[in-house]
Amino acid sequence: MASNYEGYKSPLSTRYASKEMQFLFSDMHKFSTWRRLWVWLAKAERSLGLEISEAQIAELEKEINNIDFDAAAAEERLTRHDVMAHVHVYAKQCPIGAPVIHLGATSCYVGDNTDLIVLRDALQLLLPRVAALISSLKQFAETYRGQPTLGFTHLQPAQLTTVGKRACLWIQDLLMDERALRRCLEDLRFRGVKGTTGTQASFLQLFNGDGEKVKQLDKLVTELAGFSKPYAVTGQTYSRKVDVEIVSALASLGTTVHKMCSDLRILASRKELEEPFETTQIGSSAMPYKRNPMRSERCCALARHLISLFSNAANTHATQWLERTLDDSANRRLTLSEAFLSADASLLTLLNISQGLVVYPKVIERHIAQELPFMSTENIIMAMVKAGGDRQVCHEKIRVLSQEAGAQVKQHGKDNDLVERVRKDPYFAPILDQLDDILDARTFTGRASDQVVEFIADEVNPVLARYADALKSVQNVQLSI
């Protein structure tokens, strides 16, 4: 129906992000988690002596996933309070368990704890994808570790490197992202059972002033949620500094994605390297011959959005007053979900790219041939000196010939003919039989090939070992659009 297309829908959910990541930020997952938190609270309170029956808990558990979203929306329009709307709907479904729903808790008990569960699960979903991308690029680097290519500084041709060594630069950034995201996951804790301003006063009252039971309640609910520790102190909310650290790590991942995909776009422009391109894919509506790097461009677009979200998280934490203010709520609904969905979408797209990268060695060799004669001049001078020539005389000879060859390239658009000029100059006769070896591109790449092997063994493989089981299930990534 046309009406289905008349409201705003996020492209992150309709075009880009995975179903798994979308589910983590879905209403179904959010509100069913609220209900699980109420069940865990009731279970823990019962185990510590409050009058809560097994029948009440059983009824609550039975209805965890049976959520009447329309009824909840109607309640929220009346109450202007999302948590109480869901408490009312849940209570109507569970007349026996209703009295113990949300017992002693504040709204942030379900809101913040659910957010922390989602953040944990989202990090656990992302990290193997980072590892899969590293693994795919590792294979690429190994395959092309010895393939000479022009290096660039200032986007101008510089000394040679290899295609595989350049890929290791991308991998190194990703290793830093893996470390940052893993640390976020390892540091993440649960808000737990803290009450309205973090003092646990309501729970102390429930347990007649027994502080040890309140501490035990906090521990039990934390463990039921799958966390090892709660935050020792909170206000009404867990500190939004946690969001800053996580979104910072995600935004940093965005910089890695953008840098790598910018490199790919430059190399595609030079026709040295190409992202996957299907047989039925159309590059341009007007220019049928074009093979635009649209996936790399998509990654850059998503990465820029992801990078921009860091300022939201930082400013939200900076402007929280005392124990909390509610001006974080609407912002976090956007920032946290879009940060993870953008990271997920860009990672999946880049993984797809990395699994189908095409290298064109002949184009690379042609580009090297255009620049290598100039780069080889020092080697030619050294060979002439070894053959008994005068360095200063040789330097002047090479300087003149280089200027002549440069004029052919820049003024007349011709190929670099410096080598032919050297061959025709009688002065260089003593080294003509060495010239092919002097001009072998592989002699200009230094230790690049060895660096690839060492980097993979020392830096990459130990990280990938952490994800050995997860990587077994990663297949070639197909994009729907």
Asked if 249 and 174 touch (Cβ cutoff 8 Å), the reply is: no
**Adjacent-strand bridge partners of 161:** 149
Q: In this structure, which amino acid lies at residue 367?
A: H
Instruction: Quote the CA–CA distance of 105 and 202 in Å, as a whole number.
Output: 8
Is the backbone of residue 278 left (phi > 0), alpha (psi -120 to 50) or beta?
A: beta
97, containing H or E segment: none
Three-class SS state of 153:
strand
**What helix, strand, coil percent values describe the chain, rounded to 5?**
70, 5, 25
Contacts of 399 (CB under 8 A, 6+ apart): none
Instruction: Quote the CA–CA distance of 39 and 163 in Å, as a whole number.
Output: 55
Asked if 356 and 275 touch (Cβ cutoff 8 Å), the reply is: yes
Instruction: Quote the CA–CA distance of 190 and 451 in Å, as a whole number.
Output: 42
CA 177 centroid distance within chain: 7
Contacts of 206 (CB under 8 A, 6+ apart): 45, 50, 103, 104
Q: How many CA atoms lie within 13 A of 237 on its CB side?
A: 23
Catalytic residues: 154, 284
Q: Which structure tokens are listed for 301?
A: 């677009």
- Give, rounded to a whole angstrom, the gap between the first and last alpha carbons of the chain: 22
**DSSP code of 390?**
-
CA dihedral 454, 459, 463, 468 (to 10 degrees): 0
